[in-house]
């Protein structure tokens, strides 16, 4: 995939690829949502409301 290519998305979210690795499927990009922008790759803790309630703030990056 060429650099600086936008991947078509449905709805308000969009992912723009800024760089891809020539040796594997790794890529660097920008995820745009109605809530803001997230540079990727990024660590995103995902869990149900119950698992997040059980975390101490020190345990989350």
Q: What does the domain layout of the chain look like in residue ranges?
A: 5-53
Cα angle value 42/17/6 (rounded, 5°): 130
Q: What is the pLDDT of residue 8?
A: 62
- The model's pTM is 0.52
In the predicted model, residues of the chain with pLDDT beneath 50 are 1
Q: How far apart are CA 32 and CA 34, in angstroms?
A: 7
Q: What is the pLDDT of residue 1?
A: 47
Q: What is the pLDDT of residue 59?
A: 74
Q: What is the pLDDT of residue 52?
A: 66
């Amino acid at each position: 995939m060429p650099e600086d290519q936008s991947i078509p998305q449905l709805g308000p979210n969009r992912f723009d690829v800024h760089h891809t690795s020539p040796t594997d499927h790794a890529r660097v990009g920008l995820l745009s949502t109605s809530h803001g922008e997230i540079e990727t790759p990024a660590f995103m803790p995902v869990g149900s409301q119950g698992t997040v309630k059980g975390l101490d703030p020190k345990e989350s990056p």
